[in-house]
A and B are shown apart, each in its own frame.
Chain A
């Protein structure tokens, strides 16, 4: 390989057919005289602009599109040299860092010698070592192309905002399960908003046996094993549900606050009492109607109960997880859109309450297709306020445009799976921790189950990894009509 051109932080390298270079590979352009080298990543492989190639191709098809048959007597065996030149490729690379005395800096301001520099592949283990991508809490994401393992540090997910995105059936949920399982393994508290009931069997192996996480996975299905009693609720949590999930106007919310205080003073905070109090409450008829309709929505959700024995305390699960590590899977499958919002409002409100009072240290929140249940104002909350409380969110989506641009800008880590749609790639490329060319070029060619890891987990050295398999019972399979036909 030969250094050909450098423009800004893009380097072009001439590569010959016997040198196999692919997108995502890392190369070291080493200038021995300067005593330093450039670490570059291949973002595109093109044909080198070899003069005369067009003529060469035209010559092979001059007969109305049919190849002219013939014999070539090539005594000096020049033909291999011709194909060697013809198949030369231009490797477009992005400068990631400068390496000098085994230490890295992000500078790309110097120019290595074109004639004297040597270019060689940089193995992922060497790069990981140079970039110090290691730590005390390793999470093996999977294998890289050079058959080495890509291990990230769980600490790099701590306090971070993460996004897992890619088109359908590329392995997003698999990645989130992998991260989750490892976090639980390191005794972290994890809360999952499980939209499709994909995570409910995390405690089981593929063949249905209990796995190491079995006792740490707590699946809460609203209105089944996950109900709350009004007595267990703080007013502001319920007000949050009424205002944000059920869109209760401010005036009505004020009246509700009075009703709540009254019932609480009488120690009659039950659904039944609430249902009897609202119709007789002295207030504007419209307000009463508004309160009644919300009351019925709450009752119909099945999420609330007056039976304390039936109520599941979210705190219990969270406290248990706090001690030994564990995941609270909030199974939102078969839950209506409004009920979903009620549950999410409750869980988030409860989490903030527990974190604010330091009853919980921090929580890793995994939110699948969050736009389906997260209210508008929560997006900003999650990246700013809630982060400070200790809720570290990982968004998982196959519709990247449903996540706001400011979330991408502030995302610390992105696990990017295949996208072919230009619009989707445009959205993801707004992330601050990566350049648009890398996203567009590499993500488009990722095979299923291959992920481009970006951000702090890889010390800003984008790496392609084949996500390792998990011995976990799969629940994310799409139900098919023709499945048993053959």
Chain B
């Protein structure tokens, strides 16, 4: 079944195009339907609350053969007005049932316009994921997005613990696509890297997103809050020269093992005097001068406290679940879907007393 993903309504302003509140709801519609469907028929299911929350983290596999060019590329902020937009999603496990887990997903697009930030936040979507329905949920969402199914390829099916992040990734790709389809001449900031070929970053899909961005003369910049890349045992973000920031450090020699593929060139970005630097992936298909220019536009248009773009920070803040929200979603599950909350003791604490630090530390 094919689904038409509609575009945002575009209004031309003297300087920018930016997403309008009238949004394409095809994927959120699927999310909503599946969410509600998964929550049905679970009257009086007990949910166990005191399990560890799983906020999303990215952990990609790369063969660590990286080399760092010791000569920094100096950057000069370009004040040319440019739209800066960012995407982030978050997932969290809000409880366990007898048959599965209860998870919540939320995503946010944030863009900066005329020095003001605006956002579109989608979710939370709550799913009751069981061994029985996880394929159906995942396939349906994939179909809604990819216009294709990957049934038969069992390796691609996430296990239960991966499901929250996988579903969040689907939402994130959709949000990224929305931005690439609606912004012109802008900078689109992703959370994480431009590494593809992992379960939640299909290469073809990532290529399509980057291609769509390029068609509208946008540049995708991906910021990794954490990196595992090391040179001589040191994290690449720790080996910072004493040159006056802002600057980029170019890397080369990074190899991946198939099907992992790097779709961006990897840099270390340090934007101000604070000793914070981040791994920055820039769309590989863009010419080098344009890459540098894109970063310079970012410097000229964005607030970069601690070298991290405010737009991306806001996207993260807006989609991250607070404890209050988790309680509210548990309340929703109990009130609207008849879950019964049970408080099963944490076996680590029961067995090891003060030495039991909880399941997350096992």
Chain A positions within 8 Å of B, measured between CB atoms, are: 50-53, 55-56, 59, 62-63, 68-76, 78, 81-82, 84-86
Give the docked Cα–Cα distance between A262 and B319 (Å): 101
Q: Which residue of A lies closest to B33 (CB)?
A: A75
B75 close to chain A: CB less than 8 A: no
Contact yes or no, B121 A73, CB < 8 A = yes
Q: Which residue of B lies closest to A54 (CB)?
A: B322
Contact yes or no, A63 B324, CB < 8 A = no
Contact yes or no, B119 A71, CB < 8 A = yes
B323 close to chain A: CB less than 8 A: yes
Cβ of B121: which chain A residues have Cβ within 8 Å of it? Answer: 70-73
Cβ of A86: which chain B residues have Cβ within 8 Å of it? Answer: 324, 328
Q: Is the interface of A mostly helix, strand, loop or mixed?
A: mixed
Contact yes or no, A73 B23, CB < 8 A = yes
Contact yes or no, A85 B324, CB < 8 A = yes
Contact yes or no, A62 B317, CB < 8 A = yes
B residues 95-130 in Cβ contact with A at 8 Å: 110, 116-126
Q: On chain B, which size bracket covers the interface?
A: 35 or more
17 A-B residue pairs with Cβ-Cβ distance under 8 Å, sorted by A, are: A51-B323, A51-B324, A55-B323, A59-B322, A69-B119, A70-B121, A71-B23, A71-B119, A72-B121, A76-B124, A78-B126, A78-B328, A78-B329, A78-B332, A81-B335, A82-B324, A85-B327
Per-residue contact bits, chain B 328-347, to A (CB 8 Å; 1 contact, 0 not): 11011001000000000000
Contact yes or no, B317 A59, CB < 8 A = yes
Partner of B123 from A53, A62, A70, A74 at Cβ < 8 Å? A74
Give the docked Cα–Cα distance between A85 and B322 (Å): 12
Shortest Cβ distance from A50 into chain B, in angstroms?
5
B326 close to chain A: CB less than 8 A: yes
B272 close to chain A: CB less than 8 A: no
Partner of A52 from B23, B122, B326 at Cβ < 8 Å? B326
Contact yes or no, A52 B117, CB < 8 A = no
Q: Which residue of A lies closest to B333 (CB)?
A: A81
Shortest Cβ distance from B319 into chain A, in angstroms?
10
B21 close to chain A: CB less than 8 A: yes
Give the docked Cα–Cα distance between A72 and B318 (Å): 10
Q: Which residue of B lies closest to A70 (CB)?
A: B119
Contact yes or no, B323 A52, CB < 8 A = yes
Contact yes or no, B124 A55, CB < 8 A = no
Give the docked Cα–Cα distance between A85 and B331 (Å): 8
Cβ of A75: which chain B residues have Cβ within 8 Å of it? Answer: 28, 31-32, 35, 123, 125
Shortest Cβ distance from B85 into chain A, in angstroms?
13
Give the docked Cα–Cα distance between A81 and B126 (Å): 13
Cβ of B122: which chain A residues have Cβ within 8 Å of it? Answer: 73
Cβ of B328: which chain A residues have Cβ within 8 Å of it? Answer: 78, 81-82, 84-86
Cβ of A78: which chain B residues have Cβ within 8 Å of it? Answer: 124, 126, 325, 328-329, 332
Cβ of B324: which chain A residues have Cβ within 8 Å of it? Answer: 50-53, 55-56, 82, 85-86
Cβ of A85: which chain B residues have Cβ within 8 Å of it? Answer: 324, 327-328, 331
Give the docked Cα–Cα distance between A272 and B193 (Å): 113
Give the docked Cα–Cα distance between A400 and B120 (Å): 59
Cβ of A69: which chain B residues have Cβ within 8 Å of it? Answer: 116-119
Cβ of B325: which chain A residues have Cβ within 8 Å of it? Answer: 52, 56, 78, 82
Give 9 A-B pairs besides A81-B332, A81-B335 with Cβ atoms closer than 8 angstroms.
A52-B324, A55-B320, A55-B323, A68-B318, A73-B23, A73-B120, A76-B35, A78-B332, A85-B328
Contact yes or no, A68 B28, CB < 8 A = no
Cβ of A59: which chain B residues have Cβ within 8 Å of it? Answer: 317-318, 322
Contact yes or no, A71 B331, CB < 8 A = no
B residues 54-90 in Cβ contact with A at 8 Å: none
* B21, B31, B332 — most chain A CB neighbours (10 Å): B332
Q: Which residue of B lies closest to A66 (CB)?
A: B116
Cβ of B125: which chain A residues have Cβ within 8 Å of it? Answer: 75-76
Partner of A76 from B36, B322, B331 at Cβ < 8 Å? B36
Give the docked Cα–Cα distance between A84 and B324 (Å): 10
B141 close to chain A: CB less than 8 A: no
